[in-house]
Amino acid sequence: MTLSKKIILITGGAGFIGSHLTRLFVNKYPGYQIVNLDKLTYAGNLENLKDIEGKPNYIFVKGDIEDMNMVKKLFTKYRFTGVLHCAAESHVDRSITDPLAFVKTNVLGTVSMLQVTKDYWKDNYKGKLFYHISTDEVYGSLRETGYFTEETAYDPRSPYSASKASSDHFVRAFYHTYHLPVIISNCSNNYGPFHFPEKLIPLCIHNIINNKPLPIYGKGLNVRDWLFVEDHVRAIDIIFHKGKPGETYNIGGHNEWKNIDIIKELCRQMDIKLGRKKGTSGKLITFVKDRAGHDLRYAIDATKLKKKLGWKPSLQFEEGLAKTIDWYLNNNEWLNDVTSGAYKTYYDKQYGL
Ligand code: NAD
Ligand code: DAU
C-alpha cells in the first residue's frame, strides 16, 4: 500500500495482540486515523490502551463485528481505507466447552466484516486492504519434525482452529470471487504484556506470584513456537504496508519449547526475581488431565516473510520472557483486576485446583 493518509479500522484492538497493534499504529503513524472497534468481551480491556487513549489520531468504538448495520455506519462515517481484523474468540479451552461462540465471532463475524468491507469498497479497490490476522493452528498438528509453510494443507483439529480455518477460507473466497484485496498472516504462539491469564504463560506467572499450582496438561511434552507479541505486530505492520494482496505470510520465531521446559524456565527466572530459594516455584508444577484433542506440536517456517519482506524477530526468548515477567510484577493492579469476578468462575470450572 502507498503511504498516503490512511483511515484504518482495527477490530479487537482492546485484546492482547490488538492492543499492541493499535498502540504501534497510533504512535508510529500520527498521520493515520485509527478506529478501534471492540465488543469488550471478557478478553477486551481498555486498560490495555490507557497510554494512547487521548491521542488525536485514535478513536475507540464499543461494538460487535457481527452488527453489520453498525459497521456499515462506521464505514460511511470514517471512510476506511484499511481493515486490520484481529477480533476473535481466541482460547482453545473455551472453544472445547462452547464451540458455537467461536463459530459466531470467528466465522459469522469475519464474513460480516468481509461483506460490509466489500460492499463499501467495491467501486474502487485501489489502495485498500483487508488484513486478516490468523493462526498457525489452522495447519493442524506436527509430529516431532517438519514445519508449517504457507503451502501446508489446512487440518484444524479444535473448534477454535476450525473456526479460524473457516474464516481464512472465507477471506480467500472474497479475494477470488469479488477481488477484494486481502492478506492473511498465520502466526505462532505469542507472549508478552497484557496477555490474558487464561493462556499458559500469564496463567503460570499469576499462579507463581500467588503460590498456586501450575496446571500442566498431560505430560507437558506438547511443543509450541513462541514469539514476543511486539515482534508479531511489527511483522503485521511490514506485511500491511509491503505485502502483496492475495498472499499469505507465516509469522514465527523459530523458538520451540516443550510446555514443561518453558514452565521450568519461567519458575527459574521467577525464583530469582521474587527472591525465592532456587526450586521453590518448580514445586508448584502439577500435571493435570490433558486437553481434549491436544495438538502435539506447532512450528512455523517464516522464510517467505524473512526473504520477501525482510522481517525477523528482534528478541531472544529468555530476554522476552524476562521483560514479560517484569511487566506482570510491575502491573499487579492490572493482573488483580482481570483475575477478579468472572475469571474465578472460569478458573474453578476449568481446573478445580
Ligand atoms: P484476545 O482474546 O486477547 O482478544 C480478542 C479481542 O477481540 C478482545 O478485545 C475482544 O473483546 C474482541 N472481540 C471478541 N469478540 C468480538 C466481537 N464479536 N466484536 C468485536 N470485538 C470482539 O485475542 P488475541 O490473543 O489478542 O488474538 C487476536 C487475534 O490473533 C485472533 O484473531 C487470534 O486468532 C489471532 N492469533 C492469536 C495468537 C496468540 O498467541 N494469542 C497467535 C496467532 C494468532
Ligand atoms: O498457535 C497460536 C495459538 O496459540 C493462538 O491461535 C491461540 O489464540 C492462542 O491461545 C495459542 O493457543 P494454545 O492453545 O497453543 O495456547 P495456550 O496458552 O492455551 O496453551 C499453550 C500450551 O500449554 C498448549 O500445549 C496447552 C498447554 N496448557 C495450557 C494451559 C492454559 C497447559 O498445559 N496448561 C494450561 O493451563
- Cβ of 141 less than 6 Å from ligand 2: no
Q: What is the reported pLDDT for 242?
A: 97
Atom of ligand 2 nearest to the CA of 217: 33
Average pLDDT over residues 107-128: 98
Alpha carbon of residue 128 to chain centroid: 23
Does 136 qualify as catalytic in the annotation?
yes
Does 125 qualify as catalytic in the annotation?
no
pLDDT band at 353 (very low <50, low <70, confident <90, very high): confident
Average pLDDT over the chain reads: 97
Does 51 qualify as catalytic in the annotation?
no
Q: What is the reported pLDDT for 1?
A: 45
Average pLDDT over residues 57-81: 98
Topology of domain 7-191+227-251 in CATH is: Rossmann fold (3.40.50)
| Cα–Cα distance measured from residue 226 to residue 243, given in angstroms and rounded to the nearest whole number | 23
Q: What is the reported pLDDT for 3?
A: 44
pLDDT digits (tens, 9 = 90+) for 186-224: 999 999 999 999 999 999 999 999 999 999 999 999 999
Q: What is the reported pLDDT for 48?
A: 98
Q: What is the reported pLDDT for 7?
A: 98
pLDDT digits (tens, 9 = 90+) for 152-194: 999 999 999 999 999 999 999 999 999 999 999 999 999 999 9
Average pLDDT over residues 318-345: 96
| Cα–Cα distance measured from residue 172 to residue 175, given in angstroms and rounded to the nearest whole number | 5
Structure pTM?
0.98
Residue 5 has pLDDT above 80, yes or no: no
Atom of ligand 1 nearest to the CA of 87: 7
Residue 2 has pLDDT above 60, yes or no: no
- Cβ of 135 less than 6 Å from ligand 2: yes
Q: Is the dihedral angle over the CA atoms 342, 21, 85, 231 positive or is it negative?
A: negative
Distance 167 CA to ligand 1 centre (A): 13
Q: Which of 86, 87, 88, 167 is nearest to 131 (CA)?
A: 86
Q: Return the ligand number nearest the Cα of 198.
A: 2
Average pLDDT over residues 74-87: 98
Specify the higher pLDDT residue, 253 or 11. 11
Q: Which of 20, 225, 43, 40 is nearest to 135 (CA)?
A: 225
Distance 40 CA to ligand 2 centre (A): 21
Q: Which of 239, 349, 217 is nearest to 287 (CA)?
A: 217
Average pLDDT over residues 20-29: 98
Residues above pLDDT 90, as percent of the chain: 97
- Cβ of 90 less than 6 Å from ligand 2: yes
Q: Return the ligand number nearest the Cα of 353.
A: 2
DSSP element (H, E) containing 342: helix 342-351
Mutation choice for ligand 1 from 37, 85, 86, CB with most ligand atoms inside 8 A: 86
